[in-house]
Chains A and B, each alone.
Chain A
């Protein structure tokens, strides 16, 4: 009985909890409450994931109206995996955040901050779970609005400017999406994604559909921060509160990548996107340029959060590259990297959050000598860095391995070589931080506060996961392969 309702509970639990936070008010009570909520949300996605793996896709018709009248939820191998990632990240980062916001958010605003955070989680989960493309848009607005607010609540005044920049770019992105959705609806008369795929006219017959494809992919690319549409991302990640940066880096761009996968493979199909629209020629240059430019810019950053933000833009390039092959191996690489990057980048941002908590600064100078003063935090940062570079026995290596396999499968030697070369760039920017932390003497004037165990434990949980999934690869790779096959097989 309750199993049938799982897809909707996944979204309703955090959505119900958010107004309760507003009514509850007290900082301590709300902080304990959100931990429970994040645990329940994670439990829900675990149940969904096991159910989908055993029995196949789950559907849910809201209000009992079947599509195309009503809105349908549909969970298959791909979004079950994504739900697990989002709610897992929330379950690790929220307990961390209940400590880290003590130094970043005024006490009397804790309940509002955490309420908005829960709405953001619900929005991202909603994008993942729904099968209705207009419902996707509504959830996208929910997650985007809440991200703007969360970013704007950063300590420095520049957080507001960063949030505003993101708001402008994000709004342009959603407008493009809405136009695309409108065009599709006018052409096909449906908003359900599986239905859309069935009624899609062939590309040579309809210019409306081609325009819809263009508007949708540009809109999602802005949200995904594909080079050169990434300009909102560095400031947003730099000035947001620690837990927000970690959570958005781990999930928001991942959900956008999922949306791109859905639109390209489920709604339009491989034939449309690759044979008619030539994505295999359009995307790789953008992806490669993104990897190269963002990694190079990262080398010259002195603010570590900004450095990691540019690294994120480069990592998005890897995911898009995986998609652009249009093959099972390429998609597996992209989806595996979605998982691995969520784990490793959130662990890096959590480590920097610990540094910020201890010192109140995150620039390269503050990192000097931290290897000795904050050994646990910096060791976690080092492991996260090795992941980014893609050293064997880390999760990052697994992603690179599948990506290079996919490139070699199509005899794209240049792309394969480029992936190896870009690891060197990552080694340089991570190397600069590691050098400062381990080979310089600490600044005697800076005093470090002790970091509570409640922040170190989530950090090490993620760091441990990034090592674990580097060696025992069957879970992420298996889930990604099932999802890739599903996408190439057509509608869910």
Chain B
């Protein structure tokens, strides 16, 4: 048994055990921290199944952004809350039974796939040349199934709008001044993150990367700047942020309609494809970054009507 196989055995087991620990956790702050660890472990699991693109996104969004959102929400609820009570054991029994049965059914369904898995990898490779990307994942995301990606950007815009509408009407808090150490790191980390984000978009067509992890990194910049008590990502809000939020969706849609001239919607002629895809990815990166920043600010209560202060 080599190290890889050992890891393949330990990882899923660790995920299940960690999930159980999180469910039993009585203090919310600890549960959030463990949840972020869960995201990182999950990212390692994606690496093990040869999906580095997913691993990047999982680490950035599943662990980073989601964790930040949960922490912000937690902070808003306040630390002086009673610890939540876990389900009493008799009530837990049917839940465990149902989960085990479901898991069993799923494993039973998967066993036969063990011997003859079917995939489209060969089919995708066959037409990779037409897409203008050498990374098959990028080809699927931005060419073959660009429409799904476009809609996912729509989902993100939608969730930013929804959270802003629901949380925005429930009051606003002011930003808090951080210490000098934080300020020191902020001024050095923020530009670095932004550069890495740009790099991820640039290499996306050849290697793992692309708009989603890049956008998540960019939102990290946004969140850090907010935590540094500098409200400019939100101060922009009334003029530019609205446009930045819809930029990715808008550019994608425009590219789609432009493609309509060459046949069907989203048809990109090979000679223009590369430029369009870079433009789309950049716009999407900005929108993803700003959407997550707005989500974070809403969760923390930094965005909203000034009249509703204190609720």
- List CB contacts (< 8 Å) of A18-41 with chain B: 19, 22-23
CB-CB nearest in chain B for A211: B109
Partner pick for A142 among B154, B166, B242, B264, CB 8 A cutoff? B154
Contact in complex: A12, B165 (CB < 8 Å): no
Contacts of B196 in A (CB 8 A): none
Contacts of A188 in B (CB 8 A): 118
Q: How many residues of B contact A (CB 8 A)?
A: 53
With A63-B147, A186-B118 in contact, do A16 and B253 touch (Cβ < 8 Å)?
A: yes
CB-CB nearest in chain B for A180: B109
Partner pick for B246 among A19, A142, A186, CB 8 A cutoff? A19
Q: Is A406's beta carbon under 8 Å from chain B?
A: no
With A116-B161, A211-B105 in contact, do A63 and B146 touch (Cβ < 8 Å)?
A: yes
Q: Is B289's beta carbon under 8 Å from chain A?
A: no
Q: Is A81's beta carbon under 8 Å from chain B?
A: no
CA distance A64 to B109 in the complex (A): 35
Contact in complex: B109, A208 (CB < 8 Å): yes
Contacts of A8 in B (CB 8 A): 264-265
With A8-B264, A183-B109, A208-B109 in contact, do A138 and B151 touch (Cβ < 8 Å)?
A: yes
Fill in one digit per residue for B188-231: 1 if any A CB lies within 8 Å of its CB, else 0.
Answer: 00000000000000000000000000000000000000000000
Contacts of A210 in B (CB 8 A): 109
Contact in complex: B264, A19 (CB < 8 Å): no
Partner pick for A135 among B148, B168, B263, CB 8 A cutoff? B148
With A19-B157, A69-B123, A71-B147 in contact, do A109 and B169 touch (Cβ < 8 Å)?
A: yes
CA distance A159 to B10 in the complex (A): 43
Partner pick for A68 among B120, B243, B267, CB 8 A cutoff? B120
- List CB contacts (< 8 Å) of B129-175 with chain A: 143-148, 151-152, 154-155, 157-159, 161-162, 164-166, 168-169
- How many Å from the CB of A229 to the closest CB on chain B? 14
Partner pick for B268 among A60, A63, A206, CB 8 A cutoff? A63
CA distance A165 to B143 in the complex (A): 37
Contact in complex: B265, A145 (CB < 8 Å): no
- How many Å from the CB of B191 to the closest CB on chain A? 30
Fill in one digit per residue for B230-268: 1 if any A CB lies within 8 Å of its CB, else 0.
Answer: 000000000000110110011001001101101111111
Q: Is A152's beta carbon under 8 Å from chain B?
A: yes
Contact in complex: B109, A63 (CB < 8 Å): no
Main secondary structure of the interface of B (DSSP, over half): helix
Q: Is B106's beta carbon under 8 Å from chain A?
A: yes
Contact in complex: A112, B265 (CB < 8 Å): no
Q: Is A315's beta carbon under 8 Å from chain B?
A: no
Q: How many residues of A contact B (CB 8 A)?
A: 53
Q: Is A119's beta carbon under 8 Å from chain B?
A: yes
Q: Is A349's beta carbon under 8 Å from chain B?
A: no
Q: Is A417's beta carbon under 8 Å from chain B?
A: no
Q: Is A179's beta carbon under 8 Å from chain B?
A: yes
Q: Is A276's beta carbon under 8 Å from chain B?
A: no
Fill in one digit per residue for A190-206: 1 if any B CB lies within 8 Å of its CB, else 0.
Answer: 10000000000000001
Contact in complex: A19, B166 (CB < 8 Å): no
CA distance A69 to B143 in the complex (A): 9
CA distance A12 to B162 in the complex (A): 20
Contacts of B117 in A (CB 8 A): 186
Contact in complex: A22, B245 (CB < 8 Å): yes
Partner pick for B120 among A22, A61, A106, A189, CB 8 A cutoff? A189
Contact in complex: A138, B120 (CB < 8 Å): no
- How many Å from the CB of B283 to the closest CB on chain A? 13
With A186-B113, A206-B112, A214-B105 in contact, do A64 and B159 touch (Cβ < 8 Å)?
A: no
- How many Å from the CB of B252 to the closest CB on chain A? 11
With A207-B111, A211-B108 in contact, do A112 and B164 touch (Cβ < 8 Å)?
A: yes
Q: Is B110's beta carbon under 8 Å from chain A?
A: yes
Contact in complex: B260, A5 (CB < 8 Å): yes
Q: Is A426's beta carbon under 8 Å from chain B?
A: no
Partner pick for A15 among B106, B154, B159, B267, CB 8 A cutoff? B154
Partner pick for B259 among A63, A113, A116, A189, CB 8 A cutoff? A63
Q: Is B127's beta carbon under 8 Å from chain A?
A: yes
With A62-B147, A139-B151 in contact, do A149 and B105 touch (Cβ < 8 Å)?
A: no
With A63-B147, A142-B151, A160-B166 in contact, do A115 and B109 touch (Cβ < 8 Å)?
A: no
Contacts of A60 in B (CB 8 A): 264-265
With A112-B165, A189-B118 in contact, do A70 and B144 touch (Cβ < 8 Å)?
A: yes
CA distance A138 to B154 in the complex (A): 10
CA distance A189 to B117 in the complex (A): 9
CA distance A112 to B148 in the complex (A): 23
Q: Is B5's beta carbon under 8 Å from chain A?
A: no
CA distance A116 to B262 in the complex (A): 31
Fill in one digit per residue for B52-89: 1 if any A CB lies within 8 Å of its CB, else 0.
Answer: 00000000000000000000000000000000000000
Fill in one digit per residue for A295-321: 1 if any B CB lies within 8 Å of its CB, else 0.
Answer: 000000000000000000000000000
CA distance A129 to B24 in the complex (A): 44
Contact in complex: A63, B264 (CB < 8 Å): yes
Q: Is B97's beta carbon under 8 Å from chain A?
A: no
Contacts of B152 in A (CB 8 A): 138
Contact in complex: A63, B157 (CB < 8 Å): no
Contact in complex: B161, A69 (CB < 8 Å): no
**What are the 8 closest A-B residue pairs judged by CB atoms, nearest first?**
A211-B109, A149-B162, A189-B118, A63-B266, A19-B246, A64-B267, A69-B144, A62-B147
Q: Which residues of B does A touch, CB under 8 Å?
A: 105-106, 108-113, 117-120, 123-124, 127, 143-148, 151-152, 154-155, 157-159, 161-162, 164-166, 168-169, 242-243, 245-246, 249-250, 253, 256-257, 259-260, 262-268
| 16 pairs of residues in contact across A and B, judged by CB atoms under 8 Å | A23-B243, A23-B246, A63-B144, A64-B267, A71-B145, A109-B165, A112-B161, A139-B151, A142-B155, A142-B158, A145-B158, A146-B158, A179-B106, A189-B118, A190-B120, A212-B109
Known contacts A112-B165, A183-B109; 19 additional CB pairs below 8 A are A12-B265, A15-B154, A19-B246, A19-B249, A19-B250, A23-B243, A61-B264, A63-B147, A63-B266, A68-B120, A69-B123, A115-B161, A139-B151, A149-B162, A153-B165, A179-B106, A189-B120, A208-B109, A211-B106
